[in-house]
Amino acid sequence: MTATFILQELLSVANPEKASFLQRFFKTGEGQYAEGDLFLGLVVPLTRSIAKANKNTPLSEIELLIQSKYHEARLCALLILVEQFKKANELQRGVLYDFYLNHIDYINNWDLVDISCPYIVGNYLLDKDRSRLYELAESKHLWSQRIAVVSTIAFIRKGEFLDTFALAGKLLNHEHDLMHKAIGWMLREVGKKDRAALTDFLERNASLMPRTSLRYAIEHYPETDRKAFLSVKQIKNK
Protein backbone atom coordinates (compact mmCIF):
# COMPACT_ATOMS: atom_id res chain seq x y z
CA MET A 1 0.00 0.00 0.00
CA THR A 2 2.12 2.80 -1.35
CA ALA A 3 1.32 6.22 -2.75
CA THR A 4 2.64 5.09 -6.12
CA PHE A 5 0.34 2.05 -6.17
CA ILE A 6 -2.72 4.10 -5.19
CA LEU A 7 -1.95 6.77 -7.78
CA GLN A 8 -1.62 4.08 -10.44
CA GLU A 9 -5.05 2.78 -9.43
CA LEU A 10 -6.51 6.26 -9.76
CA LEU A 11 -4.82 6.86 -13.11
CA SER A 12 -6.10 3.54 -14.46
CA VAL A 13 -9.70 4.74 -14.18
CA ALA A 14 -9.13 8.36 -15.21
CA ASN A 15 -11.78 9.95 -17.42
CA PRO A 16 -10.40 12.89 -19.46
CA GLU A 17 -13.84 14.12 -20.50
CA LYS A 18 -15.05 14.16 -16.89
CA ALA A 19 -11.77 15.77 -15.84
CA SER A 20 -12.36 18.65 -18.22
CA PHE A 21 -15.81 19.23 -16.72
CA LEU A 22 -14.50 19.06 -13.14
CA GLN A 23 -11.76 21.56 -13.82
CA ARG A 24 -14.41 24.05 -14.91
CA PHE A 25 -16.78 23.16 -12.06
CA PHE A 26 -14.10 23.56 -9.39
CA LYS A 27 -12.86 26.89 -10.76
CA THR A 28 -9.31 25.98 -11.75
CA GLY A 29 -8.86 28.79 -14.27
CA GLU A 30 -6.48 31.72 -13.93
CA GLY A 31 -7.41 33.91 -10.99
CA GLN A 32 -10.01 31.48 -9.66
CA TYR A 33 -9.93 29.91 -6.21
CA ALA A 34 -8.50 26.57 -7.43
CA GLU A 35 -6.20 27.95 -10.08
CA GLY A 36 -4.02 25.26 -11.65
CA ASP A 37 -5.57 22.23 -9.95
CA LEU A 38 -5.56 19.08 -12.07
CA PHE A 39 -8.31 16.47 -12.17
CA LEU A 40 -8.34 12.85 -13.29
CA GLY A 41 -12.09 12.77 -13.77
CA LEU A 42 -13.14 10.26 -11.09
CA VAL A 43 -16.50 10.35 -9.36
CA VAL A 44 -16.30 10.45 -5.56
CA PRO A 45 -17.73 6.94 -4.94
CA LEU A 46 -14.98 5.46 -7.08
CA THR A 47 -12.28 7.40 -5.25
CA ARG A 48 -13.85 6.37 -1.95
CA SER A 49 -13.78 2.69 -2.91
CA ILE A 50 -10.07 2.94 -3.74
CA ALA A 51 -9.47 4.67 -0.42
CA LYS A 52 -11.30 1.96 1.53
CA ALA A 53 -9.33 -0.74 -0.26
CA ASN A 54 -6.12 0.99 0.87
CA LYS A 55 -7.20 2.17 4.31
CA ASN A 56 -4.15 0.70 6.04
CA THR A 57 -1.69 2.81 4.07
CA PRO A 58 0.99 4.22 6.42
CA LEU A 59 1.13 7.96 7.08
CA SER A 60 4.47 8.23 5.30
CA GLU A 61 2.78 7.13 2.07
CA ILE A 62 -0.38 9.17 2.72
CA GLU A 63 1.91 12.19 3.02
CA LEU A 64 3.22 11.56 -0.48
CA LEU A 65 -0.29 11.04 -1.82
CA ILE A 66 -1.71 14.20 -0.26
CA GLN A 67 1.03 16.21 -1.97
CA SER A 68 0.01 14.98 -5.42
CA LYS A 69 -0.78 17.46 -8.19
CA TYR A 70 -3.97 15.49 -8.86
CA HIS A 71 -7.09 16.52 -6.98
CA GLU A 72 -8.46 12.99 -6.68
CA ALA A 73 -5.18 11.74 -5.22
CA ARG A 74 -5.40 14.34 -2.45
CA LEU A 75 -9.05 13.43 -1.97
CA CYS A 76 -8.13 9.76 -1.71
CA ALA A 77 -5.48 10.55 0.89
CA LEU A 78 -8.04 12.41 2.99
CA LEU A 79 -10.59 9.63 2.68
CA ILE A 80 -7.97 7.16 3.91
CA LEU A 81 -7.33 9.41 6.91
CA VAL A 82 -11.06 9.46 7.66
CA GLU A 83 -11.19 5.66 7.48
CA GLN A 84 -8.21 5.36 9.81
CA PHE A 85 -9.68 7.87 12.27
CA LYS A 86 -12.83 5.75 12.64
CA LYS A 87 -10.82 2.80 13.98
CA ALA A 88 -8.09 4.72 15.83
CA ASN A 89 -7.56 4.89 19.60
CA GLU A 90 -7.21 8.26 21.32
CA LEU A 91 -3.45 8.48 20.84
CA GLN A 92 -3.71 7.56 17.17
CA ARG A 93 -6.50 10.08 16.67
CA GLY A 94 -4.25 12.80 18.00
CA VAL A 95 -1.57 11.84 15.49
CA LEU A 96 -4.09 11.90 12.62
CA TYR A 97 -5.50 15.25 13.79
CA ASP A 98 -2.03 16.80 13.89
CA PHE A 99 -1.15 15.31 10.50
CA TYR A 100 -4.33 16.77 9.01
CA LEU A 101 -3.70 20.28 10.29
CA ASN A 102 -0.04 20.14 9.29
CA HIS A 103 -1.10 19.51 5.69
CA ILE A 104 -3.77 22.17 5.26
CA ASP A 105 -1.93 23.62 2.27
CA TYR A 106 -2.95 20.49 0.34
CA ILE A 107 -6.58 20.53 1.52
CA ASN A 108 -7.18 23.25 -0.99
CA ASN A 109 -10.72 23.06 -2.27
CA TRP A 110 -14.15 23.08 -0.68
CA ASP A 111 -14.89 19.42 -1.41
CA LEU A 112 -11.61 18.31 0.15
CA VAL A 113 -12.46 20.32 3.26
CA ASP A 114 -16.07 19.22 3.55
CA ILE A 115 -15.46 15.51 3.07
CA SER A 116 -12.80 15.32 5.76
CA CYS A 117 -12.70 18.01 8.45
CA PRO A 118 -15.94 17.12 10.31
CA TYR A 119 -14.75 13.53 10.72
CA ILE A 120 -11.20 14.34 11.82
CA VAL A 121 -10.99 17.86 13.25
CA GLY A 122 -14.57 18.10 14.48
CA ASN A 123 -14.76 14.64 16.01
CA TYR A 124 -11.34 14.96 17.63
CA LEU A 125 -12.29 18.23 19.34
CA LEU A 126 -15.65 17.04 20.66
CA ASP A 127 -14.28 16.68 24.19
CA LYS A 128 -11.32 19.06 23.92
CA ASP A 129 -10.36 22.71 23.86
CA ARG A 130 -11.48 24.26 20.58
CA SER A 131 -9.26 27.31 20.45
CA ARG A 132 -7.48 25.94 17.39
CA LEU A 133 -10.64 26.50 15.38
CA TYR A 134 -10.55 30.20 16.26
CA GLU A 135 -6.89 30.37 15.22
CA LEU A 136 -7.83 28.86 11.87
CA ALA A 137 -10.70 31.33 11.51
CA GLU A 138 -8.35 34.25 12.08
CA SER A 139 -5.70 32.97 9.67
CA LYS A 140 -6.92 34.86 6.55
CA HIS A 141 -6.45 31.54 4.68
CA LEU A 142 -9.70 30.58 2.92
CA TRP A 143 -9.43 26.81 3.38
CA SER A 144 -8.34 27.08 7.02
CA GLN A 145 -11.34 29.31 7.68
CA ARG A 146 -13.70 26.89 5.97
CA ILE A 147 -12.22 24.02 8.01
CA ALA A 148 -12.90 26.01 11.19
CA VAL A 149 -16.56 26.51 10.34
CA VAL A 150 -17.43 23.17 8.71
CA SER A 151 -15.74 21.18 11.49
CA THR A 152 -18.44 22.42 13.86
CA ILE A 153 -21.01 20.15 12.22
CA ALA A 154 -19.60 17.45 14.51
CA PHE A 155 -20.63 19.60 17.51
CA ILE A 156 -24.02 20.42 16.00
CA ARG A 157 -24.77 16.72 15.69
CA LYS A 158 -24.25 16.49 19.46
CA GLY A 159 -26.56 19.46 20.11
CA GLU A 160 -23.74 21.97 20.70
CA PHE A 161 -24.11 25.26 18.81
CA LEU A 162 -22.03 27.89 20.60
CA ASP A 163 -18.91 27.45 18.49
CA THR A 164 -20.91 27.51 15.27
CA PHE A 165 -22.54 30.78 16.27
CA ALA A 166 -19.27 32.28 17.48
CA LEU A 167 -17.33 31.37 14.34
CA ALA A 168 -20.19 32.45 12.10
CA GLY A 169 -20.18 35.81 13.87
CA LYS A 170 -16.44 36.22 13.38
CA LEU A 171 -16.60 35.38 9.69
CA LEU A 172 -20.03 36.81 8.89
CA ASN A 173 -18.68 39.48 6.53
CA HIS A 174 -16.08 37.33 4.82
CA GLU A 175 -15.44 38.42 1.24
CA HIS A 176 -15.68 34.96 -0.38
CA ASP A 177 -18.93 33.28 -1.32
CA LEU A 178 -17.50 29.88 -0.36
CA MET A 179 -17.49 31.11 3.23
CA HIS A 180 -20.96 32.60 2.88
CA LYS A 181 -22.20 29.18 1.79
CA ALA A 182 -20.33 27.32 4.55
CA ILE A 183 -21.69 29.62 7.26
CA GLY A 184 -25.24 29.41 5.92
CA TRP A 185 -24.97 25.62 5.68
CA MET A 186 -23.82 25.25 9.30
CA LEU A 187 -26.53 27.60 10.54
CA ARG A 188 -29.11 25.56 8.62
CA GLU A 189 -27.79 22.42 10.35
CA VAL A 190 -28.28 24.13 13.71
CA GLY A 191 -31.86 24.91 12.70
CA LYS A 192 -32.53 21.23 12.03
CA LYS A 193 -31.62 20.53 15.66
CA ASP A 194 -32.97 23.63 17.36
CA ARG A 195 -35.07 26.08 15.34
CA ALA A 196 -35.42 28.45 18.29
CA ALA A 197 -31.64 28.77 18.72
CA LEU A 198 -31.18 29.57 15.04
CA THR A 199 -34.07 32.04 15.06
CA ASP A 200 -32.49 33.88 17.99
CA PHE A 201 -29.19 34.13 16.10
CA LEU A 202 -30.92 35.31 12.93
CA GLU A 203 -32.99 37.92 14.72
CA ARG A 204 -29.74 39.47 15.91
CA ASN A 205 -27.69 39.01 12.76
CA ALA A 206 -29.89 38.63 9.65
CA SER A 207 -29.48 42.24 8.59
CA LEU A 208 -25.68 41.87 8.73
CA MET A 209 -25.43 38.56 6.87
CA PRO A 210 -24.51 38.13 3.20
CA ARG A 211 -27.65 37.22 1.29
CA THR A 212 -26.25 33.82 0.35
CA SER A 213 -25.61 32.90 4.00
CA LEU A 214 -29.07 34.03 4.99
CA ARG A 215 -30.78 32.11 2.19
CA TYR A 216 -28.93 28.92 3.12
CA ALA A 217 -29.72 29.36 6.81
CA ILE A 218 -33.48 29.86 6.36
CA GLU A 219 -34.01 27.21 3.68
CA HIS A 220 -36.24 25.07 5.91
CA TYR A 221 -38.30 27.91 7.38
CA PRO A 222 -41.89 28.47 6.25
CA GLU A 223 -42.17 30.85 3.30
CA THR A 224 -43.61 33.67 5.42
CA ASP A 225 -40.65 33.51 7.81
CA ARG A 226 -38.16 33.39 4.93
CA LYS A 227 -39.71 36.50 3.41
CA ALA A 228 -39.61 38.28 6.75
CA PHE A 229 -35.90 37.62 7.27
CA LEU A 230 -35.07 38.58 3.69
CA SER A 231 -37.07 41.79 3.99
CA VAL A 232 -35.04 42.75 7.06
CA LYS A 233 -31.92 42.23 4.99
CA GLN A 234 -33.35 44.29 2.13
CA ILE A 235 -34.32 47.18 4.40
CA LYS A 236 -30.83 47.22 5.93
CA ASN A 237 -29.27 47.46 2.46
CA LYS A 238 -31.30 50.52 1.48
Q: pLDDT per residue over 177-187, tens digit each?
A: 999 999 999 99
Chain-centroid distance, C-alpha 173: 18
Sequence-distant (≥ 6) Cβ neighbours of residue 90 within 8 angstroms: none
Residues of the chain above pLDDT 70, percent: 97
pLDDT of residue 30: 87
pLDDT of residue 232: 77
pLDDT of residue 194: 97
On average, the pLDDT of the chain sits at: 94
Provide the whole-model pTM: 0.93
Maximum Cα–Cα distance for the chain, whole Å?
59
Whole-number Cα distances in Å, 44 to 15, 40, 64, 74, 207: 13, 11, 20, 12, 37
pLDDT of residue 234: 57
pLDDT of residue 238: 46
Average pLDDT over residues 191-205: 96
Residue 217 has pLDDT above 80, yes or no: yes
pLDDT digits (tens, 9 = 90+) for 15-36: 999 999 999 998 888 888 888 8
Residue 172 has pLDDT above 70, yes or no: yes
pLDDT of residue 6: 97
pLDDT digits (tens, 9 = 90+) for 34-55: 888 999 999 999 999 999 999 9
pLDDT of residue 233: 63
CA torsion sign, 147 to 136 to 208 to 155? positive
pLDDT digits (tens, 9 = 90+) for 121-153: 999 999 999 999 999 999 989 999 999 999 999
Rounded Cα distance between 51 and 48, Å, is 5
Domains of the chain, first to last: 1-104 (1.25.10.90), 129-237 (1.25.10.90)
Rounded Cα distance between 32 and 52, Å, is 32
Whole-number Cα distances in Å, 89 to 94, 133, 191: 9, 22, 32
Chain-centroid distance, C-alpha 104: 12
